[in-house]
């Protein structure tokens, strides 16, 4: 299956490992691949290797005083890269959980129901029958 355009190294590897012929599943796989690439980019930024516009400036107002001086009020915001990385990691884990088949060893085995009980018996009555023989 062809790797979608725009994926990085980790995202492409994830796509190749998890993509199937199931379109809804592939939508999740693609999001997981993009998120993996995003996490790599954020990690590079945190390590000082990447480039990210971490500050945003916005002029709130501009006034000219009677003496000709200019007063400018500016708002400065800093992006929270670590917080974003944590959120992306959580999203990545959630997507992978949805893509992974349930571990059959972790699931509790089904409780056998005695065959001699009618369908309208409550679970408590079934348990009592099982315990009392």
pLDDT averaged over every residue in the chain: 80
pLDDT of residue 1: 77
Using pLDDT thresholds of 50, 70 and 90, give the confidence band for residue 66.
confident
The confidence score (pLDDT) of residue 15 equals: 94
Q: Quick one: pLDDT at residue 104?
A: 45
Give CA–CA dist 11/33, Å, rounded. Answer: 4
Provide mean pLDDT across the span 37-66. 80
pTM above 0.75, yes or no: no
Residue 72's beta-bridge partner residues? 62
CA distances from 16 to 24, 60, 81, 99 (A): 16, 48, 28, 14
Residue in this structure with the two tokens 């945190």, named with its chain if needed? 46
Residue 75: in which H helix or E strand, if any?
strand 70-78
91: which residues sit within 8 A by CB, 6+ positions away? 35
> Is residue 37 within 8 Å of residue 11, measured between CB atoms?
yes
Mean pLDDT of the region 23-38? 92
Q: Which two tokens stand for residue 77?
A: 């915001």
- SS3 call for 12: helix
The string of pLDDT tens digits covering residues 10-30 is 999 999 999 999 888 899 999
Would the pLDDT of 5 be above 90?
Answer: yes
């Amino acid at each position: 299956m062809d790797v979608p355009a725009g994926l990085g190294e980790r995202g492409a590897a994830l796509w190749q490992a998890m993509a199937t012929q199931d379109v809804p599943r592939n939508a999740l796989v693609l999001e997981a691949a993009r998120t993996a690439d995003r996490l790599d980019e954020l990690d590079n930024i945190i390590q000082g290797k990447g480039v990210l516009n971490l500050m945003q400036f916005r002029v709130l107002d501009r006034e000219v005083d009677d003496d000709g001086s200019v007063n400018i009020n500016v708002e400065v915001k800093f992006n929270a890269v670590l917080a974003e990385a944590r959120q992306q990691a959580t999203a990545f884990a959630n997507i992978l959980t949805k893509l992974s088949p349930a571990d059959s060893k972790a699931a509790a085995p089904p409780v056998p129901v005695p065959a001699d009980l009618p369908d309208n018996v409550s679970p408590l009555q079934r348990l009592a029958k099982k315990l009392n023989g």
